[in-house]
Each structure stands twice: as structure tokens, then as C-alpha cells.
Structure 1
Amino acid sequence: MRFVLCLLLIFATPVRADDRTEVDVELFLAVDVSRSMQPFELEIQRRGYANALRSREVQNALARSMLGRIAITYVEWAGAGNQRVIVPWTLIQNQSDADNIAAQITAHFDEGLRRTSISSAIDFATTSIELNDFNGLRRVIDISGDGPNNMGTPVTEARDRTVAQGITINGLPLMTHGADAFARWSIPDLDAYYTSCVIGGPGAFVLPVTDWAEFEDAVRRKLVLEIAGRPARLYRAQADAPYDCMIGERIWERNRDIFALP
């Protein structure tokens, strides 16, 4: 009888490896809040992620996953050293867990920060994944951004370090500037930049957003793919090779003394 009880306790408890809870995926949501993002855009991002996490599609993907649980953290980023943890690493197993995280994301809205260091965000995310309390069957950094890297180490160096540790980087390039004042800090083929310079690892993909009205749907689709672990080659941009992955740094050097920095 005692043996049977022990077995029941083992299978009723989340599997642990090295005292870490095993999950289908460790998902680091890295969300751009650089100065080029307007206040209404920052709010759209937070509400978009919150609504996507609550959605039936995401919950269905979670229910169909191997273990039925994932770990998520939501972190906003801008320049080198500018990362703001909004939701620390948290386990999601059901609708109630998702609702609680969504409530944290939309509890208040902060201002944007200066500059754009995708490389710093990737390095921060990688360290966070290595030090958290979870052991994912997959480990994914999901990074959004409205412009190329213009601060910190070259983005390709950060990407290569992270991919070498078995972590996948997916991209959500925000191609929404049009002709606004901050368009000069971005590039028209941001999706190609993300494809060539930012993403990497098994199944890595880019899902561009060209209009803020599309944002919530894009996040929902992206989360479903990341939870399910499905390949998403359809969303990869076609980039001419070789691509200038230092273009953001060159734009910043050209414009920094003339215009306010994003």
C-alpha cells in the first residue's frame, strides 16, 4: 500500500530535474518599449499580450501540449541595461494562471525608455532562462522590436551565443511607423533584418506586424506556434544575403547629433 501511495504522489507532482519544474517550454517575452514607441502603442502591446494569453486558442494549445504546462516571463526592454521585469517567471497550467498573468501585465502602464539594444535584451533573456526555476523541453526567446539594434554588442554576437546554448529566438518585427517622426530610426525591411540578424535556433521564425490593428492576432498566433512547438517557415522573410546587420548602429551614428534619440 505504501508503495502505491508513493507512486501516486510522484505522478501527481510536476516532474522536476535538478529541483526545476519541467515544462513544455520556457518562454521569455521580450517586449520593445524604446522611446520610438508612442504611449498608445505601449498600451496596445500590453493589452495585446494579455488578451492573447487569455484566448481560447492559446489555452487549447496549452491543453494539447505534452506536459500541459509552460513557464512565462514578460520583460520590457530598450537600451543596453534597460530591462524592466513586469511578470517574473510564472507557471501557466490553466485559464486561471493565464488570467493572473494578464492582470499583472495590464495592472499599470509605464513610459518608454531610451535607445534600442536587441543584443542586450537577448543576453538578459538568456541569463534569465539559465537561472530560472524551470526545465523546459524547449527554451524560446520571443522578441519584438520596431527598429534595428543601435546600442551594445552586435546583435549577431548575442544571437550566436544564445543559439549555441540550445535556445531559440523568434522575432516580432513591428513595421508600423509609416512616415512618422521615428521612421528614420527604423528600416523598411525590418522583417528581413530580423530574419538575417536576430532570430536563430530550431524552428525559429519571424512574424511581422505592419498595422497595430493586427498586433493582438499576431501575438496570439505566435504564442500558439511557440507553445505547440510547430515549425513556422511560412513566416520567415526573404532577405538578400549578405545583410548589413550593423545598419542600426550606422543609422544612429548618422543621426544622433541631429534628432532626439529613440
Structure 2
Amino acid sequence: MQRVQAEGHCRLALVLALDVSASVDAAEYALQRDGLVAALRAPDIQRAILQGQGAVALSVFEWSGRQQQVVVLPWVMLRDRAALEQAIGVIARARRSYSGFPTAAGYGLGFGAGMLREAPACDRQVIDVSGDGINNEGFAPALAYKHFPFDGVVVNGLAILGPDEGVQRFYREEILHGPGAFMVTAEGFEDFRRAMTLKLFRELNDLQVGERADGTTTCCG
């Protein structure tokens, strides 16, 4: 993969990791993909991307089993509205890469770390992991953080509530990594758009927030 050049100040390299494991059915996959597209089209998000102090680099990949990680959107510098709309179009046209595989979160995190090694030089590096289940194949996130290059990387979580009652605790206790890491909770895939919009807004603006006892977060007034 060819490294994208920042060509000017880049404030944030952001990797979005979308869950396509067996627990995500076709309708839920569409809600996740289309929810991300809608979040990126939200006026507050577009302003946060295009009017900040420095550009934003974005990439997106899907993850599930040990070897089932596929790049949906290679690194792109979002310098202007045309670049942003082109990136949104690529995501909107995506077709699911895999189905029927387990949830290998450690492998997904390792893949995300590899993506960041190819990212432009930016002030901050963030991986944004979404999912509706806990790790059930391969090594745990702790081993990924130990053996892959995560120095200076923040990993945030978007926990999607559903049949797996342990997902919220798993994301809070095992996925979150780095200073200021936070989790947003979606009340099912139907709530993914709202949760992703909130999450992107906070990541793009580097907002510091408080966390409630249940793992949800409060923000900024």
C-alpha cells in the first residue's frame, strides 16, 4: 500500500473499523454502512472535517475473523468538499466483504495498526472500532496492544447493544486504549447513525469528556 502524503498540516489520521462478523446480518450491515455515510454527511461533521486547523486523513476497513479484514476506503486526505464527497461515495457503494466468520478483535486491531503505519504524518492517530460482540477467536486485544505498534495511538469504541450482553463491558475494558479513549453506545444497529455522528464529532474536535458508571459518556455542554 502506497503511503499517502499529507501535503500540509494534518491534524488527525482516523481509521474506522466496521464489524462484519457472523452476528451482523445483511440488514444490520446496511444500517452500519449507511449510518456511517449519513454521519459523514451531517453538517456538523462536515464542518468539523473541513474547517479545522489542518486536514483529516480517513480510511475505513471491515473486520471479522482472523484473516477477514478488507479495506473499504484506502487513505484519503479530506482537504476539501470534493475529496470528502468522493470518500463518502466509495463507502456508500461498498459491498460486504465477508459473512459467517467469528469476532477476532485482536486481529482487527493489528490490522488497524498496520493501516496507521501507511497513514500520512498527522498530529493524532485514532482507530475507531465498531462492533456488537466480544472477542471469540484468536488473541485478545491486550496482546494486540502488546505486540503491534500502538505508541501514540488512541483506540475508541462504538459498542452496539444486542444479544451479546457483554459487549459494552468488553469495549470499555478491552478495546479502549490510549489517553482520552472513549466509548459510545448504540442501542442496536438502528441507532448506529446517531452514535457514529456523536463519536466522529468528538474525535474530529478532540473533545475531552466525562464517563458515567455505565460506560456512556457526557460531553462538553
- Separation in 2, partners of 1:40, 1:154: 28
Which position in structure 2 is the counterpart of 1:147?
Answer: 133
SS at match of 1:208: strand
Q: How does 1:34-183 map to 2 (within 5 A)?
A: 34-67=21-54, 69-110=55-96, 111-132=98-119, 134-161=120-147, 164-176=150-162, 183=163
- Separation in 1, partners of 2:100, 2:107: 14
- Separation in 2, partners of 1:238, 1:221: 15
Residue 97 of structure 1: how far off its partner (Å)? 1.9
Between 1:145-154 and 1:159-168, the stretch displaced more is 159-168
Q: How does 1:230-249 map to 2 (within 5 A)?
A: 230-234=207-211, 237-238=214-215
1:65 maps to amino acid:
G
Q: 1:40 to 1:236 in 2, by over 3 A?
A: farther
Q: Higher strand fraction: Structure 1 or Structure 2?
A: 2
Residue 237 of structure 1: how far off its partner (Å)? 4.2
Q: 1:164 to 1:45 in 2, by over 3 A?
A: closer
- Separation in 1, partners of 2:103, 2:185: 18
Cα contact 1:206–1:237 (8 A) shared by 2: no
SS at match of 1:152: coil
Q: 1:202 aligned to 179, 196, 201, which one?
A: 179
TM-score (norm 2): 0.87
SS at match of 1:88: strand
Q: Which one has the largest radius of gyration? A: 1
2:135 maps to amino acid:
N
The alignment's C-alpha RMSD in Å is 2.1
1:114 maps to amino acid:
F
- Separation in 1, partners of 2:24, 2:212: 24
Which position in structure 2 is the counterpart of 1:229?
Answer: 206
Which position in structure 2 is the counterpart of 1:247?
Answer: none
For structure 1, the residue ranges without an aligned partner over 5 or more in a row are 1-18, 177-182, 240-262
Which position in structure 1 is the counterpart of 2:188?
Answer: 211
Residue 215 of structure 1: how far off its partner (Å)? 1.1
- Separation in 2, partners of 1:163, 1:196: 20
- Separation in 2, partners of 1:162, 1:237: 30
**Count of residues in correspondence between the two structures:** 210
Which position in structure 2 is the counterpart of 1:192?
Answer: 169
SS at match of 1:136: coil
Cα contact 2:19–2:132 (8 A) shared by 1: yes
Deviations 1:104-140 (A, max 9, x none): 11214225241111110110110110123x0111000
Matched-pair identity in % = 26
Q: 1:148 to 1:135 in 2, by over 3 A?
A: same
- Separation in 1, partners of 2:13, 2:134: 25
Between 1:155-164 and 1:78-87, the stretch displaced more is 155-164
Deviations 1:204-251 (A, max 9, x none): 001011133321111111111111111233377449xxxxxxxxxxxx
Which position in structure 2 is the counterpart of 1:245?
Answer: none
Residue 84 of structure 1: how far off its partner (Å)? 1.0
TM-score (norm 1): 0.74
Residue 159 of structure 1: how far off its partner (Å)? 3.1
2:88 maps to amino acid:
A
For structure 2, the residue ranges without an aligned partner over 5 or more in a row are 217-221
SS at match of 1:65: coil
